[in-house]
Amino acid sequence: MPAEPPSIPVTDDPAAPVPAALAVEDLSHGFGKRVALDRVSFAVPPAGFTMLLGLNGAGKTTLFSLITRLYTNRTGAIRIFGFDLRRHPTRALARIGVVFQQPTLDLDLSVRQNMRYHGGLHGMRPSDCEARAMEELERIGLADRADEKVRTLSGGQRRRVEIARALLHRPSLLLLDEPTVGLDVEARRHILHHVRTLCREQGLAVLWATHLMDEAEADDTIVVLHQGRLHAAGTIRSLCAATGTATLPDAFASLTSREVR
Ligand SMILES: Nc1ncnc2c1ncn2[C@@H]1O[C@H](COP(=O)(O)OP(=O)(O)OP(=O)(O)O)[C@@H](O)[C@H]1O
């Protein structure tokens, strides 16, 4: 029998003047008899970097599908900056930008066309969309590729376009599902650095799902999801203190009763 993980409080602060960017409360989801999420609760602070840490099959993508309304939650609640996703879906969804695990760009359209299409879905005027697209492409170092077909870009560049596109409508919460998987070290570093800079300089709230623990930093809120259950949430320091360990991989191993790899 694996040991019960130590009880660590979730990070939603009811006294906070600004609602959490994302509050997930008692959320469950299954596929037939398979339970993918089991009564999960946690909160993402209104600004800053939150890492959703979990191995394959933890339930990260299922959670993202519920937050983005690809699936409808039948139990529990999801609130985005205080807006209940079931009661106020339009207002809630307008505040989030999403980079899904699987690439969703049209390879045969140019970068600019992909951005324009996405802006249209958000109801943006073409002139606003154009200006915002160039602003975000500039920021992420791809303005000079705006008129090239996505097919001609590297994997890392395509990911950067997806991040620029997710920010077009100025969301306050950015969700990224395993955004660096399959990329080389340099591309990973570039994307992580860019998103962390956005957090710091634009006050963006980020939920970054990954199994790569070396992407975590000291001030991050780490949410540990394992086999559909929330095992802990807090900074690396608090997770280490609660488990009597010295590193995040050791804390994760202790919390999930797994060997460190
Ligand atoms: N459409 C589906 N039908 C049936 N089972 C599913 C479906 N999607 C996910 N699952 C199951 O739900 C559980 C959680 O999967 P999920 O994809 O959410 O995990 P994950 O943390 O995103 O993993 P990965 O990092 O491998 O993508 C797994 O057991 C998975 O097999």
One domain for residues 207 and 82 = yes
Q: Is the CB of 29 under 6 A from ligand 1?
A: no
- pLDDT (0 to 100) of residue 82: 94
Structural domain boundaries, residue 6 = 1-95+171-261
CA of 242 to the centre of ligand 1 (A): 29
92 contacts 45 by C-beta, under 8 angstroms:
no
Distance CA 147, CA 142 (A): 10
Give the distance, in angstroms, between the CA of residue 4 and the centroid of all CA atoms in the same chain: 27
- Angle at 94 (CA atoms; ends 91, 95), nearest 5 degrees: 100
**Ligand 1 atom closest to residue 178's alpha carbon, by position in its atom list:** 25
One domain for residues 27 and 69 = yes
CA of 75 to the centre of ligand 1 (A): 18
- pLDDT (0 to 100) of residue 182: 87
Q: Is the CB of 245 under 6 A from ligand 1?
A: no
- pLDDT (0 to 100) of residue 73: 85
CA of 30 to the centre of ligand 1 (A): 10
Q: Is the CB of 61 under 6 A from ligand 1?
A: yes
List, for the chain, all residue ranges whose pLDDT scores fall below the cut of 50: 1-14, 259-261
CA of 173 to the centre of ligand 1 (A): 23
- pLDDT (0 to 100) of residue 22: 97
One domain for residues 228 and 177 = yes
Q: Is the CB of 133 under 6 A from ligand 1?
A: no
One domain for residues 206 and 223 = yes
CATH number at residue 46: 3.40.50.300
Distance CA 170, CA 4 (A): 41
Residue 61: CA count within 13 A, CB half-sphere: 9
Rounded to 5 degrees, φ, ψ at 34 are -80, 120
One domain for residues 131 and 24 = no
One domain for residues 212 and 115 = no
Q: Is the CB of 60 under 6 A from ligand 1?
A: yes
Distance CA 191, CA 15 (A): 33
One domain for residues 72 and 111 = no
Domain boundary among 119, 136, 170: 170
The structure tokens listed for 215 are 């992407």
Q: Is the CB of 234 under 6 A from ligand 1?
A: no
For 53-78, what is each residue's pLDDT tens digit? Answer: 999 999 999 999 999 999 988 899 99
Distance CA 114, CA 146 (A): 10
CA of 100 to the centre of ligand 1 (A): 14
- pLDDT (0 to 100) of residue 17: 65
Coil vs helix vs strand at 135: helix
10 contacts 260 by C-beta, under 8 angstroms:
no
- Structure letter (DSSP) for residue 180: T
One domain for residues 15 and 110 = no
**Ligand 1 atom closest to residue 59's alpha carbon, by position in its atom list:** 18
State the total domains in the chain. 2
Number of Cβ within 10 Å of residue 64's Cβ equals 22
- pLDDT (0 to 100) of residue 252: 96
- pLDDT (0 to 100) of residue 243: 95
Catalogue the long-range contacts made by 211-214 (C-beta closer than 8 Å, 24 or more residues apart). Answer: 211/53, 211/54, 211/55, 211/56, 211/58, 211/178, 212/180, 212/181, 213/53, 213/248, 213/249, 213/252
- pLDDT (0 to 100) of residue 16: 57
What ipTM does the predicted assembly reach?
0.96
One domain for residues 5 and 52 = yes
One domain for residues 71 and 85 = yes
Atom 18 of ligand 1, nearest CA residue: 59
Q: How far is CA 174 from CA 69, 163, 165, in A?
A: 15, 9, 11
Distance CA 254, CA 261 (A): 13
Q: Is the CB of 70 under 6 A from ligand 1?
A: no
CA of 231 to the centre of ligand 1 (A): 18
> What predicted TM-score, i.e. pTM, was given to this entire model?
0.90
One domain for residues 90 and 5 = yes
